[in-house]
Structure 1
Amino acid sequence: MKIVRDLSSLPKNIKYPVVALGNFDGVHIGHQMIFRRVAEIAQQKKGTGLAFTFQPHPITVLNPGSAPLLLTTFRKKMELIEQSGIDLVWCARFNRNLAKLEPREFVKKFLVDSLNAKEVVVGFDYAFGRGRQGTIPFLKKLGQEFQFQVHVIEQVKIDGQGVSSSYVRELLEEGSVEKAAIFLGRPYSLLSPVVHGHKTGRSIGFPTANLDTSRVQIPATGVYAVRVQFKEKSFNGVANIGFNPTFNRDRLSVEVHIFDFEEQIYGRHIKLSFIGRIRGEKNFDSAEVLVEQIKHDIETARSILSGWAT
């Protein structure tokens, strides 16, 4: 999949462009339906499946104080979009000038003049242009004017609950990683570099990899059964998210004890997938009591992960 950041890098004469529009944070199952529809149409018409999106998230520019933590890094989002069958992503830089474009200007500039879109696929709640004034009926009207067809993917619901990035974020904030996985279509994961920590785990017999998770949403504090991918190999493990109250830490950390693993991976990226929540964070009376709890957590994690091949 080709990724372009600006108009000058966009290939010329794209064959029958079929375009998905949206931000796609988290690439949940609703987004995946949009991408599959794009890929399906592109295959039928012997065209090109594209996604047009932005970076950074518009809210971080328009209202930085209320911007949510992202569900996916840019790198992870691109990987997931590629897995959905998209051929090309144009990730335009979002700024205040772009935000000022009226809906018609937005469509004319990007869909018509730049992409020459033949068909466009959007979610049921898609809005565009200045102040999100552009509606789906108006997009369809512009499609008639500029000769592109608009497809709308209806809201996806699971047990009556609409699928959305904000709802997935709520689930993660309460630690419901199993339910979040249903709405994402996969376990929630972090792709992060390993950084130096306090080495507390090593000192009590359970070495851990500490992750830099400053830019993305992390689940609620607690202990989780996880899968860890490093290079092309996958391992089982147990992760702790919290402040390590037993050792009087005051900074939130994410650390994972990887089973049957001894490599030095500081500075390397690992993928951490949350499979199940074991318990909430606790304060223990001593390191010895904590060690016994960790042993129990490891056995619980092994049980949860027993169906996952290593």
Structure 2
Amino acid sequence: MKVVDGIENLKKGLPYPVLTIGNFDGVHLGHQAIFRMVINCAKRHDGTSVVLTFVPHPLRVIAPERAPKLLTTYKEKIKMIESFGIDVIICTHFTKEFADIPAENFVVDILWKNLGVKELFIGSNYFFGKGRRGSPDMLKSLGTQYGFTVNVIDEVKVNHVTPSSSGIRTLIAKGKVDEAAILLGRLYSVEGIVVEGAKRGKNILHVPTANLLTAHELLPSDGVYAVKVEIDGKIYGGATNIGYNPTFEDKKFSFETHVLDFAGELLGKTLKVFFIKKIRNEMKFSNVDKLAVQIRNDIHDIKNILRDYNKNHIEILNADS
């Protein structure tokens, strides 16, 4: 797969470009369905499957106060799109100047003249251009005028729910990671580097934890989760706590994971945590002993959840794992 940094850097024409356009944050099942359509169409015409996406997210430029916390980093998004077999990804730099391009100019100057699009696949709720004045109907009209085909895709349904990046963000922010996984088509994951922590898990509670520093924007809500953990390419079970450790009256946020059946040094390593299910909210206990008892109960429950999960699920982690 070829990644083009800016459409202006597309040096030569592509054979029969079949294109889709979007932010594709999370690369959920709805996005994946469109990618398959684009790829299949390109193959029928010995053409090129193309994804046009934006960096940063347009709202970071247009309305920073409304910009969402993203489900995937830029690097993750590119790897996931690549894993589906797309031939070319064009990463367009979204600036204020780009945002001011009228919809018709975007279609004629960029999609038709620059890219030479032959077929375009978009969702029925796709709007674009200055003031979001561009619509599927406008695209169809311009396609007829300039000789390219526009395919408007109806909403994809998963268990009667339409996957959307915003909807999945809401689920994760509420801790409903199991519901989010259904719409993503994989477990939601967060990667981080293990850093020094307070060492209470090992020294006081006798449950060593890896304290993670992450660049990911969106973590699930505070609480305890059954997870899987990738370390050096190997997958382990785990228990993750997110929050402020209220029993110790911490004011510092922490994201820490106890890795089951692991003995070794983790400091400085990169871990990827895959969220399976939230088991409880954070709780404040009257003393450390009661907290320790609860942690042991949590680990018992998590082992059962992981056992059931392994029985009932084909392993679906992130595409780049």
Q: Aligned partners of 2:88 and 2:65: how far apart in 1?
A: 32
Q: Aligned partners of 2:232 and 2:269: how far apart in 1?
A: 9
1:227 equivalent in alignment to 2:197: no
SS at match of 2:191: strand
Q: Aligned partners of 1:88 and 1:103: how far apart in 2?
A: 23
1:308 equivalent in alignment to 2:307: no
In structure 2, the partner of 1:83 is 83
Counting only pairs closer than 5 Å after superposition, residues 136-147 of structure 1 correspond to structure 2 as 136-147=136-147
- Supply the AA of the counterpart residue of 1:173: A
In structure 2, the partner of 1:200 is 200
CA contact (8 A) 2:229 2:238 kept: yes
Of residues 42-51 and 8-17 in structure 1, the stretch that sits farther from structure 2 once superposed is 8-17
Q: Aligned partners of 1:107 and 1:192: how far apart in 2?
A: 40
Of residues 85-94 and 108-117 in structure 1, the stretch that sits farther from structure 2 once superposed is 108-117
In structure 1, the partner of 2:157 is 157
In structure 2, the partner of 1:74 is 74
Q: Aligned partners of 2:12 and 2:155: how far apart in 1?
A: 34
Deviations 1:199-247 (A, max 9, x none): 3222222222222345421111111110111232111101011111011
SS at match of 2:14: coil
In structure 1, the partner of 2:298 is 297
Q: Aligned partners of 1:167 and 1:7: how far apart in 2?
A: 30
* TM-score for both structures, normalised by structure 1: 0.94
Q: Aligned partners of 2:192 and 2:91: how far apart in 1?
A: 21
Alpha-carbon distance change, 122 to 212 in structure 1, aligned in 2, over 3 angstroms: farther
Alpha-carbon distance change, 14 to 264 in structure 1, aligned in 2, over 3 angstroms: farther
Alpha-carbon distance change, 8 to 98 in structure 1, aligned in 2, over 3 angstroms: closer
Alpha-carbon distance change, 157 to 293 in structure 1, aligned in 2, over 3 angstroms: same
Q: Aligned partners of 1:237 and 1:211: how far apart in 2?
A: 13
Q: Aligned partners of 1:11 and 1:269: how far apart in 2?
A: 37
- Supply the AA of the counterpart residue of 2:101: L
CA contact (8 A) 1:226 1:237 kept: yes
In structure 1, the partner of 2:125 is 125
In structure 2, the partner of 1:106 is 106
Counting only pairs closer than 5 Å after superposition, residues 1-310 of structure 1 correspond to structure 2 as 1-7=1-7, 9-203=9-203, 204-306=205-307, 307-308=309-310
Return the offset for 1:8.
5.0
Alpha-carbon distance change, 87 to 66 in structure 1, aligned in 2, over 3 angstroms: same
Of residues 289-298 and 150-159 in structure 1, the stretch that sits farther from structure 2 once superposed is 150-159
Return the offset for 1:125.
0.8
Return the offset for 1:7.
3.4
Deviations 1:131-178 (A, max 9, x none): 211000001111122221111221123344322111111111211111
- Supply the AA of the counterpart residue of 2:310: W
Return the offset for 1:265.
3.8
Deviations 1:247-291 (A, max 9, x none): 111132211111122343444432211111111111112222211
SS at match of 2:310: coil
Provide structure 2 residue ranges, at least 5 long, that are not aligned to the other structure: 316-321
CA contact (8 A) 2:191 2:216 kept: no
Provide structure 1 residue ranges, at least 5 long, that are not aligned to the other structure: none
SS at match of 2:137: helix
CA contact (8 A) 1:103 1:134 kept: yes
* TM-score for both structures, normalised by structure 2: 0.91
Alpha-carbon distance change, 265 to 12 in structure 1, aligned in 2, over 3 angstroms: farther
Q: Give the aligned CA root-mean-square deviation in angstroms.
A: 1.8
In structure 1, the partner of 2:318 is none
SS at match of 1:192: strand
Among all aligned residue pairs of Structure 1 and Structure 2, give the percentage whose two residues are the same amino acid: 43
In structure 1, the partner of 2:319 is none
SS at match of 1:293: helix
Alpha-carbon distance change, 303 to 11 in structure 1, aligned in 2, over 3 angstroms: farther
Of residues 76-85 and 31-40 in structure 1, the stretch that sits farther from structure 2 once superposed is 76-85
SS at match of 1:162: coil
CA contact (8 A) 1:33 1:153 kept: no
CA contact (8 A) 2:171 2:177 kept: yes
